[in-house]
Amino acid sequence: METVLQPRKLGGPGMLAFTLLFVAPSVLAFFTSYALVHRTFYFVSALWFVYEVSFYLGAAGAALAFAMMVVCVARRKIPLAFVWLMGIAAVAAVLFEWYASHIYRNAWSS
């Protein structure tokens, strides 16, 4: 008896979940930049580290989200509604990154 292996295929909800996973660091960068500006209740050094890491991961995640969206459009394997939602999430990631970089001006970069 032979074992039949069937490859797993991600549908629209799975691809959207991966896109949202890639967008999550951008959202974290946005909120930590806001918390860095309002320094009353938070430790600044820890927030600065979280901001820096999430900012760079968010930039890479936004690029991956756009790449996944382009691949899904090219393959035409998932419904168009999920492609639109992936595109909205990728654009939101870019906007969160832009707002995060403009809310908190990094003291180390010129």
Structure tokens at 99: 């707002």
Burial of 11 (0-12, 13-18, 19+ CB in 10 A): exposed
pLDDT at 110: 42
In the predicted model, is pLDDT for residue 87 greater than 50? yes
3-state DSSP assignment of residue 110 = coil
pLDDT band at residue 19 using 50, 70 and 90 as cut-offs: very high
- Of 52, 36, 49, 55, give the one whose Cα is nearest residue 93: 55
Highest mean pLDDT among 13-17, 23-27, 99-103: 23-27
- Of 109, 110, 100, 93, give the one whose Cα is nearest residue 50: 100
Q: State the Cα–Cα distance between residues 25 and 37, nearest whole angstrom.
A: 18
- Of 70, 65, 21, 29, give the one whose Cα is nearest residue 50: 29
pLDDT band at residue 9 using 50, 70 and 90 as cut-offs: confident
Q: What is the largest CA-CA distance in the chain?
A: 67
**Within 10 A of 24 (CB to CB), how many other CB atoms are there?**
16
Q: State the Cα–Cα distance between residues 30 and 54, nearest whole angstrom.
A: 9
pLDDT band at residue 105 using 50, 70 and 90 as cut-offs: low
pLDDT at 107: 58
pLDDT at 4: 80
